[in-house]
């Protein structure tokens, strides 16, 4: 009886540490999210310094783990499997999470599962939004990807050829001298100013095939900023209109090509209302359902790693310690996805 109970209550603990967040989540075998504790590293100024972020992760790991157990109301011996983000991401940050995961799995004597960060973003979104087979637009500080399941893989239909959309917004915000007050992200500050924009200033719109490029747009908008000829509100408005139209065009083409019934929007930039409105309108045109992943699960979080780890584990995938080296450039389409049956 005890054995059976333990089996029914098998939990996966997931550790996320690809970039500036260290997070631990715990999920049950049937997809209940018991806890999701996130500790963000906020640099004093400038962008993320990988080694500083890794130092933050090592410092907070013990406390974040403890809080995740407390919130979930379970003890370490209830854990059946430990998952960790194996890539893609920043080397020092990934290695800190992987070390914590290896130590915990070995101490608890349970299997380890290395999870692809991008797969985890898609799977947690499907879980929380009850999406079955979406075209996903994943837009964050480090990623800009349009993906959907096809031929046994999550295929990347479009992606950035240079910088990510979130990075583009953040660099512009720093150039404009914005300060992050009370943890308000730069993208949200731009969004607010953009609502007072009136004039659409011409800026480079670069879509090449299905891929996107934001670096020319960023250079152009920074040049105009320093010329001082335009209102800041109009620059924010124009930057958003152009960048989000590019994202919407590529997402719509992926939707038309795959004929999927849903669009799922995730990542930190998913919080943007203007981007949501643009995607919602193309979803309507194609009779597709549109969902936005709630912020807690759209940002980098441990629960998504736990859930993707649980899916993999339930389908016989585990990662030996020898294979648990971090994979900085691990691409989405390289991941084996046995838990989805082709339609």
Residue 213: CB minimum distance to ligand ATP, A: 17
Residue 239: CB minimum distance to Fe ion, A: 22
Contact 313, 111 (CB under 8 A): yes
Residue 21: CB minimum distance to Fe ion, A: 8
Residue 18: CB minimum distance to Fe ion, A: 6
Residue 185 interacts with which of ligand ATP, Fe ion, none, CB < 5 to 8 Å by class: ligand ATP
List the structure tokens of 17.
């540490």
- Give the burial class of 204: count Cβ atoms within 10 A of its Cβ; 0-12 exposed, 13-18 middle, 19 or more buried: middle
Peptide bond into 158 cis (omega under 30): no
Binding-site ranges for Fe ion (CB under 5 A): 140, 300
Q: Pick the closer one to ligand ATP by CB: 53 or 81.
A: 53
Residue 20 interacts with which of Fe ion, ligand ATP, none, CB < 5 to 8 Å by class: ligand ATP
Residue 299 interacts with which of ligand ATP, Fe ion, none, CB < 5 to 8 Å by class: ligand ATP
Residue 269 interacts with which of ligand ATP, Fe ion, none, CB < 5 to 8 Å by class: ligand ATP
Residue 187 interacts with which of ligand ATP, Fe ion, none, CB < 5 to 8 Å by class: ligand ATP
Q: Pick the closer one to ligand ATP by CB: 110 or 142.
A: 142
Residue 238 interacts with which of Fe ion, ligand ATP, none, CB < 5 to 8 Å by class: none
Q: Is the Cα dihedral 49, 304, 325, 332 positive or negative?
A: negative
Q: What is the DSSP letter of 73?
A: T
Q: Pick the closer one to Fe ion by CB: 140 or 240.
A: 140
Binding-site ranges for ligand ATP (CB under 6 A): 18-21, 140-143, 166, 169-170, 185-188, 191, 267-269, 271-272, 299-300
Q: Pick the closer one to Fe ion by CB: 117 or 253.
A: 117
Contact 248, 278 (CB under 8 A): yes
**DSSP H helix total and E strand total for the chain:** 11, 12
E-only strand ranges, 29-176:
33-40, 79-87, 112-116, 134-139, 144-150, 153-159
Distance of CA 115 to the CA centre of its chain: 13
Residue 141 interacts with which of Fe ion, ligand ATP, none, CB < 5 to 8 Å by class: ligand ATP
Residue 3: CB minimum distance to ligand ATP, A: 39
Residue 166 interacts with which of Fe ion, ligand ATP, none, CB < 5 to 8 Å by class: ligand ATP
Q: What is the DSSP letter of 160?
A: B
Rounded Cα–Cα distance for residues 102 and 97 (Å): 9
Distance of CA 200 to the CA centre of its chain: 30
Q: Pick the closer one to ligand ATP by CB: 140 or 324.
A: 140
Residue 294: CB minimum distance to Fe ion, A: 15
Q: Pick the closer one to ligand ATP by CB: 188 or 340.
A: 188
Q: For residue 96, give the H/E element and its range.
A: helix 91-108
Q: Which residue is nearest to Fe ion (CB)?
A: 300
Residue 1: CB minimum distance to ligand ATP, A: 43
- Please give the order of strands across the beta sheet that includes 153-159: 153-159, 144-150, 134-139, 262-266, 289-292
Peptide bond into 88 cis (omega under 30): yes
Among 222, 254, 34, which residue's Cα sits nearest to residue 144? 254
Residue 149: CB minimum distance to ligand ATP, A: 20
- Please give the order of strands across the beta sheet that includes 21-28: 33-40, 21-28, 11-16, 79-87, 112-116
Q: Pick the closer one to ligand ATP by CB: 28 or 272.
A: 272
């Amino acid at each position: 009886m005890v054995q059976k109970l333990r089996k029914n209550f098998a939990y996966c603990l997931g550790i996320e540490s690809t970039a500036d967040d260290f997070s631990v989540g715990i999920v049950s075998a049937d997809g209940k999210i018991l806890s999701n504790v996130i500790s963000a590293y906020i640099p004093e100024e400038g962008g993320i310094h990988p080694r500083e972020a890794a130092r933050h992760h090592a410092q907070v790991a013990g406390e974040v783990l403890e809080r995740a157990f407390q919130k979930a109301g379970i003890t370490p011996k209830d854990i059946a499997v430990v998952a960790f983000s194996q890539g893609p991401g920043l080397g020092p940050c990934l290695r800190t999470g992987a070390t914590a995961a290896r130590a915990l799995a070995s101490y608890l004597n349970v299997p380890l599962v290395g999870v692809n960060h991008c797969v985890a973003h898609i799977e947690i979104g499907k879980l929380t939004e009850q999406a079955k087979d979406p075209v996903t637009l994943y837009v964050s500080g480090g990623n800009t990807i349009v993906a959907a399941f096809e031929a046994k893989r999550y295929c990347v239909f479009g992606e950035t050829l240079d910088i990510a959309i979130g990075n583009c917004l953040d660099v512009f915000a720093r150039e404009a001298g914005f300060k992050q007050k009370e943890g308000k992200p730069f993208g949200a500050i731009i969004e607010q100013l953009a609502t007072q924009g009136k004039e659409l200033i011409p800026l480079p719109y670069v879509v090449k095939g299905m891929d996107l490029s934001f670096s020319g747009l960023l250079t152009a908008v920074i040049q105009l900023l320093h010329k001082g000829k335009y209102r800041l509100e109009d620059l924010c408005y124009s930057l958003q209109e152009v960048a989000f139209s590019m994202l919407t065009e590529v997402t719509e083409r992926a939707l038309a090509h795959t004929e999927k019934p849903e669009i799922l929007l995730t990542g930190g930039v998913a919080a943007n209302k203007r981007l949501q409105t643009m995607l919602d309108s193309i979803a309507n045109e194609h009779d597709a359902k549109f969902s936005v992943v709630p912020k807690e699960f759209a940002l980098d979080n441990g629960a998504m790693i736990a859930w993707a780890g649980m899916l993999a584990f339930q389908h016989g995938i585990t990662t030996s310690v020898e294979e648990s080296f971090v994979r900085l450039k691990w691409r989405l389409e390289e991941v084996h996805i046995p838990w989805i049956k082709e339609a």
